[in-house]
Structures are given as structure tokens and as C-alpha cells.
């Protein structure tokens, strides 16, 4: 099934960001169509995570626009973007270490519900059941009652993704989901990402080119905060400039 | 008109003292990320040291306020160094622990001062040469306060020179900017920390002695000065020397004139600039933006 | 939750019966412990559950106390309305202070809360016309809830016990609720919480106000018990005693602050009767707890015991 051409799930228009005097994001314009699997590539320091941070609202852009399904969210507070259907995972594990796996995913589910403001009743049972179901999707239901601190790194990565997936996002931003994993673990995560329904558009940052190229349909190559190449996988792989960026000048 | 001059000089003098107090606090916070709540006690300790030095050795020719100030500053610096090495060092990375420990030590010091020096304020006499007012343009200017302001300016310049033009200053600035990087390039962080803590404490102690003629040494001086130092630093921005300088004099003026016109509400008057600054620039006037 | 209710009710029952066998000194000590416990529980909402270390929490205790004192003596209000207005005023100020302090985080937050509470302290100290300054406000009275007098040591003790029990249960409910879960979430990973869709600022502000509310309740208990109020109730020493109770007992738990508060109150009473050096001892206890048993007395003792056991082998 091809990504539908008409609907732009995510769009940035001339996004710019400076840190001190240093330009970190320069006129970045990308278009992600609904259902697309986009890979954000680039050497270290290219500004990939910063771009993510601008899209999710971790940082405010200096200029430019961000649109989610046509709606301008450039100035929208971070937590509101989640309610518009955006979810992300982080490069470093940002799970709740003292809580169980079930509680971690449940917190992700609770975030979008009215009952998160309830100061009397404990977490609703249906949220906890749903959390279990999501853990089952990523094959971790049997560890549901263990605290995060005792499970393996690869399993933590899966919980990260589970937490984001639990919210049934329309746009999912994955920041280096394969980092630090063994090849077997990578295969698991790759299969997991491949199984995500097309209702969710995915933008992924990855370093491991071979693995990432398997999942990506389109690629945006960043270098020094600027978009160098942007197109389908075949186009970018064949592009001379991509070779230069990765193999040196 | 004389009223305005007196109050302005009082404001400047208070500002000078607050600068001596807040600059050390800001340095320590900026470099070591420690909110040193003992700082008020350091100031008070200095005041007591100075008062005692003058009382005990005042009859000797060589003893005067300036000698007492240096002695007081050194004494407090030593105590600060001991505190840093023995206690704070063990709590690196535990910011809450550090704050609570400095709070605890401030209690110990202030109570110890009460035991040693008793409950009555100990006056510190203004140096004889500066007791008579200076006459300019037909108005009387309290001489000691003028000198105090000059001293604060000197201290500010000296600190600035230290930070900008010396190697140790460069190391401090590097540490403030990026601790891990500084370590990586070989800066001996632990020695630097002790040095900076001693410096901060010493300046506060010296400030206590120099403040003697205006404030005297009394129990509770630490509790009176610490919140003012905090407000100065909040206003000016942590870690910023300019912020400490500007903030100190702003607070000096607001507090002095506020006390003159609304004696009951002096503290509350300080509330307002604090809220305004925090509302518009939470990192303070000259603080660095963290996000 | 049912377990907590049953357990606390049974413990409360034990404590309700105790004073029948003890003299007034211990009964009064018990009352003081309960006041400290409510204060510590409220403080722990901020420190242990929200991860917001404030050093100005005494502001709310003292404010409620002063408001009640002023409203009953100078404004001629009855205790019922005075209590309501005092708490309303305290909540209002808590909201205001929260708005200001939450513009910052970490150490800056701490310094701002300290500065704000010092502003209130300075006001209580200097505005002699209203607060009587350093002399404090004396000859205050205790209320008569439902017409029952609580003037005797034992009747006040039971009154305080009921209030403490209610406070404990309501705070327990709060902490275990969905909202309470989000509070601890913001403590552990605030960025992640925002990304998930939680309004972290609002969560913190609400918790700050709620903590202020219970500190205000503690303040009312305080002023009813002492029948006297002095600026020290707003001072950093009071905040320090509160936070010591929290960390000494073990923050982030429900029972820890109560244990810690009891310990601090015991220490304070016994030291005050022997020496005059409570402040110095308070400082030293801070040092000891932070350096040797940072998690609190209960976990700390367990660790020490384990060390001793290992040393023996």
C-alpha cells in the first residue's frame, strides 16, 4: 500500500534554530505523507535530534513552521502536541525506573485520558488492561510486574516503543530506536516497526544505515543542519552528495 | 536634600555589602552548582571575627578595620575550605544533600556564635579617619559609606580581572560553561572547587567586617543577610558577576528607600522586583538561559 | 487502599487510647507530634512525590496561623469562619507563590521559595501594628468544634488525632490516584511526561497548592494548640524542621514523614529541656542524616545493620 499522496501528516517549512551563535537547524523543509516511513539520516552533529526536538516542542524554533495534518503547531506547547497525535521515543532511555513495565505503559495511556486529572480514584482498570495488551504486542507481557530497573537494555528499548505505540499516534518519531542493540535485538525491533499499521506515519533517526534502509521508504539526509538530499530510498542511495557526506569530501 | 543624600549613600553602602556577599554566592553556585546557604553565616562570622579582633587588639597601632577585614576574610575562608573539603566534597552530585548540609552548618555556626559571643550586638567602630563626613557641593556625605562603595567597586574590578585575565579565571569560566569538558582537558576540578569556595567565603567574611561599622555583629545577622543575598542573585542571575553587581545595588536602593518610607513593609517591597524579574526573565537579568 | 484505611484506623485507635494512661506532658508531646506530622506529610507531597524541594513551606503554616489569630482577635470572627477564611487565604497565597516559584526549577526554585517565605517572615516581624511583631500574638483561643471544648490536653489530642487521620487518608488517596501517579511521573522524567501529553506545569502547580493547603491545616492546629503565634512559625527554622522530618523518615513514602516528624519533635523537646542549643543540634542532625543516612532513618538503620552483620563475619 502506498502512502496516500494527498494528506501531509507532517510538514516543516524553513525551520531554523540557533544555539548561541551556532546555527543548528537551517531552513529545513520536509514533507511527510500519511503512512510514510521516513528516515532521517546524517552524520553526528547534523542536527537530527534537534529537528526532532523542534517538531515535538522540546525546543521552540527561531523561525519557520511546523504543520501536523495541516494544522500549524509551531508555537503549540509540547504536551498539547501529544494530544494531536504525536508520539516520540528518545535516544537515551527515559522510562520511569522505579515503576513496573505495566505502570510505565499505563502512564503513557493515562496521558491522553480525562482521568489523568482525577485526584481520588486510582488508575482505571481498563488502562491497566490495555497496558498489558500493548506489552503483549511487543512480547513483554510476562515481565509486566517487574520494575524497569531490572530488565535488559533491549527490553527497555521495546518498552520505549511500546509506550509511544500505546497512544496510537498518527505521527511517530523514533530517535535511534536501534541504538546499542545486538543484531538479534535489532531484528526484533525492526520487525516491530514493520508491523506498525499505516495509520501511523513514522519518521526515524538512525545511524545504522543497513538496518534502517530496510525500513525506510523515503530518506532525508541532513548535514550541518541543512537538508542535503531528500527523496525515495533509491534516489538518495544513488545520489552523489549522499556519498560525499558519508564518505568524506 | 540631605535626606536623599544620606539615604542614597546608605543604599550604595548596603549595595556594596550585598555585592560582597552575593558575588561569592554567585561564584560558588555558578561553578559548583551549590546553593551555599551557609553564606549568610560566613558574613556574620566575619563580622564577629572582625569585631573581636578590633576589641582584643585595638590598642595595638597596627590594628585597624582594614587589617581586621583581611584577617576576618582569611579566617572565614579557612573555615569555608574545611567545610568544602570535609563535608561538601562527599556529596558531589547530590544537590539536595549539599543544600541541606549548608543549611545545617549555617544553624551550627549561628548557634555557635551565640554561645561564643553572647546575645548582645557587638559594635564595630568606624575608623577614626573616616568618622567626619566629607563635604562636597555644600552637602555632607558619610565618609565611611563612600569608602565602602569604592571598596566594592575595587572588589568587582578585581574579581572581573581574575575571571577574565588569569588562568585560574579561565578555568573557572570553563568549569561554569561545561564541567565535563573542563575535566576532560585536564583542569583540576577538585582544587578549583576548594579555591573558589574559599574565595567566596572569604569575600563574604570580609564583607561582614567591613559592614561592621554600619550593621555591627549581632545574632541573626546571617538570617537578615542571606535572604537579601538570595534575592540579589535571583534578580541578577546566578553565576553572573555583573548580575550580582547590578542586583546588589538595585536591592540596596529598593530596600533602603523602602525601609525609609514603609518601615513595616520593607521586605515586602523587595517582593515586587523579584516577581517582575521572575515573571519576565526567570533566569535573572544577566543569567544564562537554560532552555 | 482498603488495607491502608484499616491499618491506619487501627493504629489511630491505639493512639486514641494511649493518653488515658499517660500524663499531660506526653499527651501534649503527642499533639505536637501530630501537628508536625501533618506539616511533614504536606511537605512530603512537594519533596518526595513531586520532586520539588522547597525551603519555604513554613510560610503556609505560619500564614494560616496568623490569619486565624488575626481574624478571631482583631476582626471578631468566630472560629468557624476564621478557619475557612484562613485556609482560603493560604490557598490563595500558595497559588501565587507557586506561580512565581514554578517559573524556575531545581535550585533556583528552592531559592525562590526560601526568599518568598522570608518575605512573609519579614512582614510578620516588622508589621507590628498587625502582627505584634516579635512579641507575637497572645491570648488566643481554641475553637469549639460542634460545641465541644478542646481546651484540655486530652481533648485537643483527640481533635488533633482525628485531623491527622483524615489528613493522612486524604493524602494517601491523592498519592495513589491517577493524578498522584502523574505527580511522581513528573518527578522522575518531566520531559518524557510532557512528551506523553501531561501538562507538567499544571500538575506541579496543583500539587504545590494542595501541599500548601495541608500546611495551612497544620498551621491551624499549631495556633490552636499553642494559643500563641510568633514570626518563628514562618521562619526557615520551621521549614528546616519540616524537611528534616521528611528526609529523616524517608521521603516518597506515606509513613516516613510521620516517623521523621515524631523523631524531630522528640529531639526538640528533650534538647530544649536539657540544653538551649536546639538550633545547633538541628544543624548537626542535618549533617548526620545527609552524610550517613540520606535515604532516611529506616532504610539507613537497615543498611547499617547489614554492614555490622557483614563486619562480624
Closest Cβ opposite residue B100 in set C123, C129, C286: C286
The answer to whether residue C185 neighbours chain A at the CB level (below 8 Å) is yes
Judging contacts by C-beta atoms under 8 Å, the chain B residues touching residue C187 are none
pLDDT number for residue A212: 67
Please indicate, yes or no, if residue C110 is contained in any of the structural domains.
yes
Q: Which of residues 230-249 of B touch C (CB under 8 A)?
A: 230-231, 233-234, 238
Query: Considering CB atoms only, which of B112, B266, B279 is closest to C103?
Result: B279
A189 vs A242, more confident: A189
Report the domain count for chain C: 1
- Chain A residues touching residue C193 (CB < 8 angstroms): 79, 107, 111
Residue C178's closest CA among A79, A129, A110, A82?
A110
Question: Which residues have C-beta within 8 Å of that of residue C301, sequence separation ≥ 6?
Answer: C293
Top residue of A93, A122, A160 to mutate, by most chain C CBs within 10 Å, is A122
Tell me if B11 is assigned to some domain: yes
Flag whether C267 is in a domain.
Answer: no
In angstroms, the CA C241 to CA C245 distance is 6
Q: For the residues of A107-146, what is the DSSP string, one character each?
A: HHHHTTSGGGG-SSS-S-HHHHHHHHHHHHHTT-GGGTTS
Residue B123, domain CATH: 1.10.3470
Q: Which chains touch A (3 or more CB pairs under 8 A)?
A: C
Cβ contact (<8 Å) for B107 and C283? yes
Residues on chain A touching C176 (C-beta within 8 angstroms): 122
Q: Which chains touch C (3 or more CB pairs under 8 A)?
A: A, B
Q: Which three cell numbers stand for residue A249?
A: 569530501
To the nearest whole Å, the CA of C296 is away from the closest chain A CA by 18
Residues forming beta bridges with residue A32, ordered by sequence position: A10
Cβ of C108 and B33 within 8 Å?
no
Residue B104: give the domain boundaries: 2-280
Residue whose C-alpha is closest to residue A119's, from C213, C203, C1, C98:
C203
C294 min Cα distance to partner chain B (Å): 8
Residue B291 lies in a domain: no
| Residue B62 domain-assigned (yes or no) | yes
Asked if B90 contacts B215 with a C-beta cutoff of 8 angstroms, the reply is: no
The Cβ of residue A121 has, within 10 Å, a number of other Cβ atoms equal to 13
Closest approach of chain A CAs to the CA of C207, in angstroms? Answer: 10
Which residues does chain A have within 8 Å of residue C189's beta carbon, measured at their own beta carbons? 94-96
Residue C3 in grid coordinates: 488495607
Does residue C137 sit in helix, strand or coil? strand
Instruction: Kindly report the three-state secondary structure assignment for every residue of C268-309.
Output: HHHHHHHCCCHHHHHHHHHHHHHHHCCCCHHHHHHHHHHHHH
Q: Smallest Cα–Cα separation from A108: which of A136, A138, A139, A82?
A: A82
Nearest to B127 by CA among B75, B200, B176, B68: B68
End-to-end CA distance of chain C: 42
Residue from A196, A96, A205, A203 nearest A138 by CA: A196
Q: Which of C177, C188, C196 is closest, CB to CB, to A119? A: C177
pTM for the structure as a whole = 0.90
Taking the CA of residue B65 and the nearest CA in chain C, the distance in Å comes to 30
- Contacts with A61 (C-beta within 8 Å, 6 or more apart), sequence order: A15, A16, A17, A25, A54, A74
Q: Specify the CATH number for A86-167; select among 1.10.287.990, 1.10.3720.10, 3.40.50.300, 3.40.50.150.
A: 3.40.50.300
Is C193's Cβ below 8 Å from some Cβ in A?
yes
pLDDT at position A249 is 39
CATH of the domain at C120: 1.10.3470
Q: Is residue C230 part of a domain?
A: yes
Contact C197/A at CB under 8 A? yes
pLDDT digits (tens, 9 = 90+) for C245-286: 998 888 878 888 999 999 999 988 888 778 778 888 889 988
Q: What pLDDT is attached to residue B276?
A: 84
Which one-letter DSSP state was computed for residue C20?
G
C5 contacts in chain A (CB < 8 Å): none
Do residues A62 and A98 make contact, with C-beta atoms less than 8 angstroms apart?
Answer: no
Q: How many domains does chain B contain in total?
A: 1
- Contact criterion met (CB below 8 Å) for A102 and A120: no
Asked if C176 reaches chain B (Cβ–Cβ under 8 Å), the answer is no
Give the pLDDT confidence score for residue A76 in this predicted structure.
Answer: 92
User: β-strands A201-205, A37-41: how paired?
Assistant: parallel
- Write the pLDDT tens digit of every residue in B172-231: 777 767 777 777 777 777 788 889 999 999 999 999 999 999 898 899 899 889 988 999
The backbone region for B138, taken as left when phi is positive above 0, alpha when psi lies in -120 to 50, beta otherwise, is left
Rounded Cα–Cα distance for residues B62 and B72 (Å): 15
pLDDT of amino acid A5: 53
Q: HSE on the CB side for B230, CA within 13 Å?
A: 29
C140 assigned to some structural domain: yes
Q: Specify if B186 maps to a domain.
A: yes
Residue scoring higher pLDDT (A210 or C154): C154
Q: How far is B137 from chain C (nearest CA, A)?
A: 37
Q: Searching chain A, which residue's CA lies closest to the CA of residue C185?
A: A96
Interface of C with B in 115-174 (CB under 8 A): 115-116, 118-119, 121-123, 125-129
Of C122, C125, C279, the CB nearest to B107: C279
Verify whether the Cβ–Cβ distance B108 to C291 is below 8 Å: no
Using an 8 Å CB-CB cutoff, list chain C residues near A171. none
Helices B241-261 + B143-165 axis angle, to 10: 160
Residue of C57, C264, C290, C294 to mutate, testing the B interface (most B Cβ within 10 Å of its Cβ): C290
| Residue appearing with cell numbers 496568623 | C66
Identify how many contiguous H helices and E strands chain B contains and give both numbers: 12, 2
Q: Where in chain A is the domain with CATH 3.40.50.300?
A: 1-84+169-249, 86-167
Spatial CB neighbours of B182, under 8 Å, sequence gap ≥ 6: B171, B174, B175, B189
Per-residue pLDDT tens, chain B, 291 aa: give them.
778 888 888 899 999 999 999 999 998 988 888 889 999 999 999 999 999 988 888 777 777 888 889 989 999 999 999 999 888 888 877 778 888 899 999 999 999 999 999 888 988 888 877 888 888 777 777 888 889 999 999 999 999 898 888 887 888 777 767 777 777 777 777 788 889 999 999 999 999 999 999 898 899 899 889 988 999 998 888 888 899 999 999 999 999 998 888 887 877 888 888 888 888 888 888 877 653
How confident is the model over C189-215, as a mean pLDDT? 95
What's the confidence (pLDDT) of residue A6? 64
Q: Number of CB pairs < 8 Å for A and C?
A: 87
Domain that holds residue C84: 2-244
The residues that bridge with A16 in the sheet, in sequence order, are A63
In chain A, % of residues over pLDDT 90: 38
Asked whether residue B285 is domain-assigned, the answer is: no
Q: Which residues pair with C141 in a beta bridge?
A: none
Which residues of B are less than 8 Å from C283 in CB distance? 103-109, 111
| Fold classified for A1-84+169-249 | Rossmann fold (3.40.50)
Distances (CA, A) of A15 to A7, A24, A30, A69, B167: 20, 10, 9, 17, 40
Q: What are the chain B neighbours of C275 within 8 Å (beta carbons)?
A: none
pLDDT in tens, C108-140: 899 899 989 988 998 898 888 888 888 888 888
Nearest 5 degrees, angle CA C92-CA C95-CA C96?
90
Residue with cell 500564614: C63
| C277 belongs to a structural domain | no
3-state secondary structure of A226: strand
Of C210, C167, C181, the closest CA to residue A117 belongs to: C181
Backbone angles phi, psi at C8, to 5 degrees: -70, -35
- pLDDT value, residue C76: 87
Nearest residue in chain C measured CA to CA from B231: C115
Amino acid at each position: 500500500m502506498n502512502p496516500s499522496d494527498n494528506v501531509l501528516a507532517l510538514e516543516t517549512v524553513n525551520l531554523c534554530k540557533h544555539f548561541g551563535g551556532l546555527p543548528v537547524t537551517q531552513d529545513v523543509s520536509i514533507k511527510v505523507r500519511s503512512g510514510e516511513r521516513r528516515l532521517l539520516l546524517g552524520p553526528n552533529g547534523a542536527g537530527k535530534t534537534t529537528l526532532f526536538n523542534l517538531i515535538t516542542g522540546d525546543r521552540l524554533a527561531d523561525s519557520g513552521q511546523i504543520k501536523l495534518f495541516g494544522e500549524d503547531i509551531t508555537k503549540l506547547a509540547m504536551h498539547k502536541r501529544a494530544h494531536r497525535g504525536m508520539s516520540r521515543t528518545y535516544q537515551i532511555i527515559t522510562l520511569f525506573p522505579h515503576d513496573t513495565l505495566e505502570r510505565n505503559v499505563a502512564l503513557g495511556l493515562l496521558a491522553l485520558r480525562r482521568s489523568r486529572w482525577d485526584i481520588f480514584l486510582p488508575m482505571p482498570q481498563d488502562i491497566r488492561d490495555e497496558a498489558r495488551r500493548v506489552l503483549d504486542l511487543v512480547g513483554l507481557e510476562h515481565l509486566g510486574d517487574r520494575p524497569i530497573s531490572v530488565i535488559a537494555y533491549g527490553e527497555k528499548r521495546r518498552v520505549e516503543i511500546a509506550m509511544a505505540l500505546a497512544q496510537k499516534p498518527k505521527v511517530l518519531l523514533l530517535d535511534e530506536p536501534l541504538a546499542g542493540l545486538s543484531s538479534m535485538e535489532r531484528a526484533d525491533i525492526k520487525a516491530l516497526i514493520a508491523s506498525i499499521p499505516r495509520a501511523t506515519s513514522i519518521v526515524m533517526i538512525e545511524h545504522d544505515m543497513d538496518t534502517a534502509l530496510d525500513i525506510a521508504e523515503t530518506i532525508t539526509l541532513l548535514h550541518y543542519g541543512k537538508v542535503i538530499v531528500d527523496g525515495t530510498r533509491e534516489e538518495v542511495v544513488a545520489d552523489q552528495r549522499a556519498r560525499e557526506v558519508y564518505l568524506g569530501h | 536634600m540631605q535626606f536623599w543624600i544620606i539615604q542614597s549613600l546608605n543604599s550604595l553602602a548596603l549595595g556594596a555589602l550585598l555585592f560582597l556577599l552575593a558575588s561569592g554566592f554567585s561564584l560558588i553556585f555558578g561553578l559548583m552548582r551549590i546553593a551555599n546557604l551557609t553564606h549568610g553565616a560566613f558574613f556574620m562570622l566575619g563580622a564577629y571575627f572582625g569585631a573581636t579582633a578590633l576589641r582584643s587588639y585595638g590598642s595595638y597601632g597596627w590594628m585597624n578595620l582594614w587589617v581586621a577585614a583581611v584577617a576576618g576574610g582569611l579566617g572565614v575562608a579557612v573555615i569555608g575550605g574545611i567545610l568544602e573539603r570535609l563535608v561538601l566534597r562527599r556529596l558531589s552530585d547530590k544537590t539536595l544533600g549539599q543544600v541541606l548540609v549548608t543549611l545545617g552548618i549555617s544553624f551550627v555556626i549561628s548557634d555557635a556564635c551565640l554561645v561564643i559571643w553572647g546575645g548582645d550586638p557587638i559594635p564595630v567602630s568606624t575608623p577614626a579617619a573616616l568618622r567626619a563626613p566629607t563635604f562636597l557641593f555644600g552637602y555632607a556625605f558619610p565618609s565611611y559609606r563612600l569608602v565602602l562603595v569604592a571598596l566594592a567597586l575595587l572588589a568587582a574590578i578585581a574579581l572581573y580581572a581574575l575571571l577574565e585575565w588569569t588562568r585560574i579565571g579561565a578555568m573557572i569560566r570553563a568549569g561554569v560553561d561545561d564541567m565535563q569538558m573542563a575535566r576532560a582537558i585536564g583542569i583540576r576540578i577538585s582544587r578549583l572547587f576548594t579555591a573558589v569556595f574559599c574565595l567566596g567565603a572569604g569575600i563574604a567574611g570580609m564583607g561582614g567586617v567591613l559592614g561592621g561599622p554600619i550593621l555591627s555583629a549581632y545574632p541573626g545577622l546571617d538570617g537578615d543577610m542571606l535572604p537579601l543575598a538570595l534575592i540579589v542573585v535571583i534578580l541578577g542571575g546566578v553565576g553572573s558577576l555583573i548580575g550580582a553587581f547590578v542586583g546588589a545595588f538595585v536591592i540596596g536602593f529598593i530596600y533602603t528607600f523602602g525601609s525609609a518610607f514603609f518601615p513595616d513593609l520593607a521586605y515586602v517591597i523587595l517582593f515586587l522586583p523579584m516577581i517582575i524579574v521572575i515573571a519576565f526573565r526567570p533566569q535573572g537579568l544577566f543569567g544564562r538561559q537554560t532552555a | 487502599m482498603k488495607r491502608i484505611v484499616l491499618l491506619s484506623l487501627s493504629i489511630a485507635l491505639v493512639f486514641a487510647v494511649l493518653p488515658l494512661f499517660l500524663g499531660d506532658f506526653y499527651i501534649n508531646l503527642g499533639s505536637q507530634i501530630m501537628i508536625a506530622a501533618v506539616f511533614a506529610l504536606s511537605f512530603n507531597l512537594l519533596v518526595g512525590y513531586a520532586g520539588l524541594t522547597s525551603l519555604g513551606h513554613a510560610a503556609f503554616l505560619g500564614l494560616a496561623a496568623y490569619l486565624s489569630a488575626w481574624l478571631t482577635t482583631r476582626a471578631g470572627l468566630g472560629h468557624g469562619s476564621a478557619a475557612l477564611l484562613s485556609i482560603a487565604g493560604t490557598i490563595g497565597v500558595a497559588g501565587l507563590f507557586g506561580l512565581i516559584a514554578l517559573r524556575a526549577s531545581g535550585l533556583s526554585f528552592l531559592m525562590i521559595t526560601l526568599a518568598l517565605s522570608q518575605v512573609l517572615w519579614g512582614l510578620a516581624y516588622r508589621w507590628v501594628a498587625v502582627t505584634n511583631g516579635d512579641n507575637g500574638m497572645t491570648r488566643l483561643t481554641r475553637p469549639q468544634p460542634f460545641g465541644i471544648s478542646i481546651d484540655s490536653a486530652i481533648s485537643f489530642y483527640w481533635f488533633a488525632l482525628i485531623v491527622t487521620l483524615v489528613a493522612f487518608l486524604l493524602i494517601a488517596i491523592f498519592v495513589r490516584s491517577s493524578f498522584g501517579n502523574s505527580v511522581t511521573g513528573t518527578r522522575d522524567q518531566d520531559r518524557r511526561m510532557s512528551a506523553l501529553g501531561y501538562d507538567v506545569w499544571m500538575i506541579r502547580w496543583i500539587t504545590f497548592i494542595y501541599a500548601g493547603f495541608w500546611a495551612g491545616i497544620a498551621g491551624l492546629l499549631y495556633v490552636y494548640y499553642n494559643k500563641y503565634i510568633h514570626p518563628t512559625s514562618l521562619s526557615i527554622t520551621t521549614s528546616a524542621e519540616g524537611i528534616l522530618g521528611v528526609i529523616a523518615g524517608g521521603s516518597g513514602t506515606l509513613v516516613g514523614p510521620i516517623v521523621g516528624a515524631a523523631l524531630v519533635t522528640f529531639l526538640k523537646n528533650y534538647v530544649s529541656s536539657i540544653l538551649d542549643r536546639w538550633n545547633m543540634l538541628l544543624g548537626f542532625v542535618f549533617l548526620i542524616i545527609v552524610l550517613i543516612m540520606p535515604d532516611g532513618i529506616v532504610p539507613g538503620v537497615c543498611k547499617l545493620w547489614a554492614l555490622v552483620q557483614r563486619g562480624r563475619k
